[in-house]
Each structure stands twice: as structure tokens, then as C-alpha cells.
Structure 1
Amino acid sequence: MTDIRVEEKRLLLGDNEENSYKSLGFPVNEEDDQEVPTTHIETAKYISRWYICVIFSLFGLMQGAIWNTWSPINESAACALGLTSSDIELLANWGPIMFLIFMPIVMWEMDRKGLRLPSVISSFAVALGTGLRCLPLAPNVLKYFIHAGQLLNGIAGCCVMAAPPMLSNSWFPPEERVTATSITSLLNYFGTGFGYIIGPAFVKQPSANYSSNDSVFCHDLHERESIRHGISNLMYFEFGVSTLIFVSLLAYFPSHPPKPPSLSAGTKRMDFLAGIKGLRHQQTFLIVAFTFSLVVGGASGWIGAFNVILEPLGVSQDEGANIGFFMSLCGCAVGLVMGWLADKFKGHIKLLLLVLFVVGFFSYLYFINMSLGWIRVPGFEKSKAGIWTVCIIIGITINAAVPLGMEMGADAAYPTSEATSASIIVWLFNLFSFILLFVLQFSDPSISNYLMLSFTGVSIPLMMFFAKEPRNRIRIDEGEVTNQLDNTVET
């Protein structure tokens, strides 16, 4: 069933009107902000919005799982393919590297063409990249195709990470918008956790006395071949699922429905370049983009080398994989609840983000204390229960912040398009992820714990004192109540 509402609203009016660009805090030229004729807008809710949400979420889930293919099986990959810890970290780093290079192109394409073309091309890149890893080649040659596959998957991450706010705004009404962003963005992060399960499910762990820091293959030929066979099966599985998702997106994935779901979705956005220039003067957007990227982007790099970070604590590959999975599972579950709460109690996203940042800060502090033994009293000493608990709490603070930060950024940036604002945020996100993974290439893994503590500690006062709760899109959508023509139609 499709609900259709015909509504009347003056869109992007002059300076004397309530909803001009200038009234929303944007410095624009007079010619860009003139009054336009009264416009009738038909808004509609289509049941197909849930198919769009689900298929894109599955695409994001697989992209995240493929990005995190190698960290959960780092010891096995060292044994069977000769990959070192530096190789594993570089494979994880291809994601942010490609994002930093290709995001401006994808951002421009989404703003110009909409969701369909970037999504279909990105899903093809994932399918092609997973296919390259399936080639029957010697390990010393296959290694380069593995890197090429991770490179293509990293390019696809541009669309996967930037599109959720645009998708939710294009397809979902205001009362479902944050929830839709939560689903489409968090499934990508759950995919990272899913990688901790499917990897060890296909690939067994090598002998307990084998270190992932070794630069040679396993000495046991039978064990090496057995693990290599498991890795091949994992590659085939990921290739098959990625290809199926690509075909599904190619078959049906329109950029937007015939009628917008809300007034704000139906309003004209600023020109691409004008919107980017205008964001320079939007303090709240800049603070949200910086703090969100610092906390969540840095944490993404931290998770990308998670097993390497846990090794000094005596955590095995399989146990680290289980911890990583439950981090993502619990984080996504709480993130969905946070998104639902943000939809029900609008105007409180800043408060929710601050709570997550504060909890994250003390969680990293507790993690460092367990590593170094600063406080030697029961409950603070290193233990399996303590490692599991603090890691899951960190996972919650990371994943639950994702949809909230994206939606707060989109509201603060309006009337710049959601594609542009989200792209800038996730570009910064990947910059900090790259920085942390780059540092890990040349330093002790424990340094990442101090970096995350610093990132979170800096973000709390910035968000608390220098960012305001944005209400730009909410102001437009709340006008539906007073401007509705009371001729809602159900078809």
C-alpha cells in the first residue's frame, strides 16, 4: 500500500521567508536564494522502500565482511600464504586509501546521478575483486591479486559508507529516517563483525606454536594445504554472494521513488560546489564531521588490526574473532535502538552522541589499564571476562554512533545534499582510519590504544561546547502539519 499526501509549501524562499537558505544559516548569493512559485508536493510512502533498504544493507554487509577478511585469519594466512602482520595491516588499509582517493569522484557522481549508478558500479567492483582472489595461482602471485581485490573493495566502500543518509532521505518519511540510516549504515559495520565469524568458519587456526609475525610458511605441508583449501572455499563463498547482490542491484535499484517521502526530500538542494563552499561556515557541521571521524574513523582502523592488538593480551585468533563478532553484533543492536529513539524523540542526537563518546573514553582507559596493570585490584586486572566486556562496550560506542553522526551531519549541512555532507564526513572518517593503520605499520600495536583514548578525549569537549543540535530538515518537515491540504490518499 502506498500513502500519498498532497502538500503545499514555499520552497527555498527569499530572505523574508522562514525557510530561505539564509534563514537556515547558509551564506549564499542573492540570486541563489530568490523566491520561487508556490509548489504542490505529493509525498508518498512506498512499500518498495524496504526492499531498497534491505538489498543495500546486504551489499554493505558483504563489503564490510570482505574488507575484514584477513585480520580474523591472520595466523592462518601467514601459515598458508606467507602473509605477514604488515601484509594484513596493509590489506586493511587499502579501504581508507582508496576512499581518500576516489571519494570526491563518487561524491560528485551521487550528487549528479543519484544512488543507482554508483551503487551498481560499486557492487560490480566488489564482485570483481572477490573473483580475482579465486584465481588458481601460486601464493607468491596470488598475493598481488588479493591486494587488487581489496583495492576494488575499498573503492566500493565510498558508496557503501556515504549513501545511507541520502537513501533514507530519498525513500523514507521523517519518522523513519534515522532508523533507515541506522539499518543501512550499521549492516556495513556488522559485516566487519561477520568477517570474524565466516573467516574462522571456513579456515582453521594453525598450530598453537605458530606466530603471525613469522615471514615464512608453515613447516607442516599437510597443515598448510588444508588451511589453503579453507581459504579458497572462503574466497568462493564471498565471490558467490557478492555476485548475487550485484545482479539484484542491477535488476532493480532506482535512485528515488516517483514521489518524495517528505517535504524536505522534495526541496531543491544547493548546487554541488556552492554546497561545499557553504559548509565551510557551518560550525556545527564541521565539529560533527571532525569529532565523529576522529572517534569512529580511528576506531575503524583499530578494529582493522584487532587481532594484532589483542595478541599481547594472550588472546588467540579464534577468540579474537569471537570477540570481534560480538562487538559488532551488540554495537549494531544498540545502534538500531539509538536510531529508533532518535526518530521518536527528535532533537536529542547530540546528547546521545556525547553519552557514547564519554562511555568510549572510559572504556579505552580501562582497556589500557588491563594491558599495563596500572591498577591491580579485582575487576581492573587483566582477565578474559574483562577483555570481553570492555571490547563489547567499545563496539557499542563505535557502532551506535555511526547513524547518529551521519544524521546529525546531514541536518547541520542542509540544504547541502545528504550525499555531499555524508561523503565529506566519511572521507575524514577514512583519513583518521588510514592514519591509525599507517602508524601501526611502524610502531607497537599498543600505541593505537593511546591514540583512541586521545581521539575520544578531544572530541567530548568539542561536541559539548561548540556544536548545537541542528534542526534544519526538521523545521521543513514540521511545516507539513500546518501546510497539509488534508487530502491524503491511500492507494
Structure 2
Amino acid sequence: MTEEKHLLEPTIKTYPSRWWILLLTSLHLAHQNIGLNTWGPITQSVKTVYGWQDTTVVFILNMGRAGSILYMCVGSLTLDKAGLRVTMLIFSVTMLLSNGLRSFSRDKDVALILVTIGEFLNGCNGVISFAAPPIVAEKWFPPGERITATAVMVLAAYVGDGVASIVGPKAVENPELQNISALHNSTWTMEVTNGDEMLDGLMYYLYVQCGLSLALLIATVAYYPDKPSAAPSTTAGMSRLTYKEAFKKIFTNKHLVSLVLVFGVMVGTYTSWVQVIDIIYDPIGFSQLNAGWIGFSTVMAGSALGFIVARFSDIFMKRLKPVLLSMFILVISTSLWTSLIAGEFLPYSAWQLYVSAIVSGGVLNASFPLWYEVICEASFPIPGGIINAMSDFVFLVFANGFFALMYIPVSDHRWLTWTMFVCSLTGFLTLLLLPVSYIRTDIDTEAKEGDACHNNGFDSMEMDIALR
């Protein structure tokens, strides 16, 4: 194997501006997910306003996934080669274009075309939304803040899902039906009485999202540097493998491949489930507002818990595996409870469905930032854009697979709730059986203690360890 020279940045320093970068990135990711989750929570309303079917909504959501898949290679290369500033500027412009198209026309035929294109463009940004958090955290934050910073950005994206789940049904009214005439055979004709109000609410909702896109673009142009003048840690200042070496390392490391696969399956299942809760629970009489409250509460509970767990993991380093295993035991138990209640294998109870769904989805959501760190630790020194794009690819494949199941011609999709139980059980078993390494943390810890910083052979020695 060709030996490469991996450079070590001599100055380790942190800057207050990292908090602005964290805030702005988090707002970007939340805003992007609000856009992606616009349609699921208001399915019943848009079906009435635009004459769509459930499959139309699923098709539009899949166009977002398609954008992510097709843009994946370009997005990961942009992150690794062009840097964060260029990447986030492209991200901001794409979001403005996406939301501008979606809010351009009230005509239902024109709207379907523009909404589909807008969803595709938003989906292209999904690659960046998925891959950027650990890269931003590594470039701007020291080891004792890295997991927390990653958690804030990852969870901000899911907060966007939650906000859309509750704001959408609040902004866009439910269809109101009224009997208008009696026909023969005692059949009544039903007419929607608030169609104009629903369309007005929808357009206002889309206009607000477009305005937020413009504000975030202006903020990004004003200040979003690629990286700080000095690296915040030893590993942040070290160069990465070439793409050829990186792919060779990935595909010869079965443990790493397994972690990436399981992570992608869990994220794909969870994010898809959150977006179509309205459709899944409709057969048991859940309104889109009630389903939205489950989605919102799940995300908010997961975000609060995720931040606490991430901060704990930053303080007590190298404890990711036991923390994740403990979380998965709770997820497995409550997702099984959710599935049994939703399927009415146990006596149906609305409060039990609320509690079980919120706890299972919330804890699973809270585990994702820790999974990011497990993969980043195990994959060092592979470029972040590559490894996170691969995780994103697996996530998108399984997310599209989840949506494809909704094309099955049945009126009741509650059985899809079982996918949450299966993916959490898979994650638990995978993590239980596989070792977890802390390559990046070990290098930073040794350098901080001063043992390696004065050793002329440090760079080659540590990189040899990382390449094993």
C-alpha cells in the first residue's frame, strides 16, 4: 500500500464563532426537514384541495428520496472537495428554489408539477443534511463537545419533522363535510364547505417556508466560513485517505459495513414512519391533527433526550456502546407495545398508543447522534463525505422501500408499525455482537495529554493504527 503523509496541525484552538455555525447549520437542517415533511401531516387536506390520493402523497415524498439518491455522489464530493461554505451556499439556493416553486401556483394541475420538482430539489439537499453534522462538529468543535454538537444538528433536523407535524395541521384546516341533498335510495351527497380556506392556509404555509429560505440564504452569505483558522483537535487537523484508499478500507471492514447498514435501516424506517403517521393510524380514527401531535411529541422528546445523552457521552467518553444498548432495550419494549395496541392485539387505548409511540420513536430518535459518532470513530480517517453518503444511501433505499410498501392495495397500513420493532431489535443485536472502536478519540486524548505531540513519529504511528 502506498504510504501517505498525514499532516498534523500544530495549533489547537476553539473559536466563539463555532456557536453561530452550529445555530445556522441547525436552522438549515430543521428548515429542510420541514419542507420534506410538509405533505404527510396534511394528507387529508391536500387530497381534498388538489384531488390527490394517498399514493400521490407517497409519490411526492419518494421524489424527495430520489433527489437524494441521484445527488449523492455530487453532494459527498462537494462536502469533501469544495468545503462547507460552498456546500451550504448551494444548499441555501436550492432550498429557496424548491420552496419558491412549491408556492408559485394555486392551480392544482400546475401545483402537482411544481410541488414534485420542488420536492426533488429539496431531496437533493438531503445528502448534505445527513452528512454535514459530524463534519461540522469535527471541523469546529473540540473532542469534549463533538458528540453534543453533532446531536444538536441531527436532532434539529428531526425537530423540523416535528414542527411540520403540528404546524401543518394547524395552518391547513381539516376538510369539513356537509350533507347538501338527499337522493334516491336514501343516499346523501357530501360537499366540502371549507375548500377555499384550506387552500388559503396551504399557500400561506408555503409562503412562510419560502421566506425562511431567503432569510437563511442571506445569513449564510453573510458569514459561514469553511473552517476555523486553527483546528479544534488533533484529528481535525489531519488529512484524510484518498478516495481509492477509503473505499478499500470500507469494503474490507465488515464491522464498519454492518454498522452503516443497520444505521441506514433504522433512520430510513423512523423518518418514513414519522412522515406517514396520519395515513397509518387513520383506520383507528386518528385525525391528522392527533397524528401530528404524536409525530411532534416523538421528535421533541427524542431531541431533549438525545441532547442529554450526547452531553453525557461527551463528558464520559468511550461509553457509547453501553448507552446505546440501554436505549435499545427501551425502544424494543415500547415499539412492541405500540404495534400490539395499533393492531388491536391488545385492547385499544388512545393514551397507550400515544405513550408507547412517543417513547419508542423518541428514544430511537435520540440514539441517532450516538450512531453517527460510532460510525465516525470506526471509520477514521475515511473522509466524512464518503462514509456519511454511504449511510445516507442505505437510509434512502430503506426509506423508499418503506414507502413502496404503502403502494400495496390495502386500506389498512397499521401493520407497518411493526417495522419499528424489527429495526430496533436489529440495531440492538448488531451493536451487541460487534466491537466498538474509538480510533479518533484515542488519538485526540493522547495528543491532549502531551504524550504524542512531541513525538516526531506521531503522525505515521497513529495513522498506521487507524489504517489497520
Corresponding residue number in structure 1 for 2:172: 203
Kept in 2: contact 1:264–1:476 (CA 8 A): yes
Corresponding residue number in structure 1 for 2:183: none
Corresponding residue number in structure 2 for 1:24: none
Corresponding residue number in structure 2 for 1:470: 437
1:131-157 CA-to-partner distances (Å, cap 9, x unmatched) read 111213411221111111111111111
1:86-129 CA-to-partner distances (Å, cap 9, x unmatched) read 11112222232222221122111211111111211112111111
Structure 1: tracts of 5 or more residues without a match: 1-28, 211-217, 376-380, 487-491
Secondary structure of 1:257's counterpart equals coil
Corresponding residue number in structure 1 for 2:348: 382
Corresponding residue number in structure 1 for 2:128: 159
1:393 aligns with 2:359: yes
- Aligned partners of 2:108 and 2:27: how far apart in 1? 30
Instruction: Report sequence identity in percent.
Output: 24
Moved more, 148-157 or 196-205: 196-205
Corresponding residue number in structure 2 for 1:271: 242
> In structure 2, do the counterparts of structure 1 residues 337 and 250 end up closer, same or farther at CA, with 3 Å as the change threshold?
same
- One-letter identity of the residue aligned with 1:288: L
- One-letter identity of the residue aligned with 2:319: H
Secondary structure of 2:11's counterpart equals strand
Kept in 2: contact 1:287–1:463 (CA 8 A): no
Kept in 2: contact 1:270–1:416 (CA 8 A): yes
Kept in 2: contact 1:365–1:453 (CA 8 A): yes
For residues 248-259 of structure 1, what are the structure 2 equivalents within 5 Å?
A: 248-259=219-230
1:413 aligns with 2:379: yes
> In structure 2, do the counterparts of structure 1 residues 193 and 484 end up closer, same or farther at CA, with 3 Å as the change threshold?
same
- One-letter identity of the residue aligned with 1:247: I
Kept in 2: contact 1:80–1:227 (CA 8 A): yes
Secondary structure of 1:45's counterpart equals coil
- One-letter identity of the residue aligned with 1:226: E
For residues 271-310 of structure 1, what are the structure 2 equivalents within 5 Å?
A: 271-310=242-281
Kept in 1: contact 2:169–2:289 (CA 8 A): yes
Secondary structure of 2:27's counterpart equals helix
Instruction: Give the length in aligned residue pairs.
Output: 442
TM-score of the pair, normalised by structure 1: 0.86
TM-score of the pair, normalised by structure 2: 0.90
Deviation (angstroms), 1:191: 0.2
Deviation (angstroms), 1:208: 6.3
1:421-447 CA-to-partner distances (Å, cap 9, x unmatched) read 222112211211111111112254223
Kept in 1: contact 2:335–2:421 (CA 8 A): yes
For residues 33-72 of structure 1, what are the structure 2 equivalents within 5 Å?
A: 33=4, 41-72=10-41
1:187 aligns with 2:156: yes
Deviation (angstroms), 1:219: 6.1
1:404 aligns with 2:375: no
Kept in 1: contact 2:83–2:226 (CA 8 A): yes
For residues 161-180 of structure 1, what are the structure 2 equivalents within 5 Å?
A: 161-180=130-149
Task: Kindly report the root-mean-square deviation, in angstroms, between the aligned alpha carbons of the 2 structures.
Answer: 2.0
Structure 2: tracts of 5 or more residues without a match: 180-188, 455-468
Kept in 1: contact 2:65–2:396 (CA 8 A): yes
Kept in 2: contact 1:294–1:456 (CA 8 A): no
1:458 aligns with 2:432: no
Deviation (angstroms), 1:247: 1.6
Corresponding residue number in structure 2 for 1:348: 319
> In structure 2, do the counterparts of structure 1 residues 209 and 73 end up closer, same or farther at CA, with 3 Å as the change threshold?
farther
Corresponding residue number in structure 2 for 1:442: 408
Deviation (angstroms), 1:347: 1.0
- Aligned partners of 1:372 and 1:159: how far apart in 2? 37
- Aligned partners of 1:443 and 1:481: how far apart in 2? 62
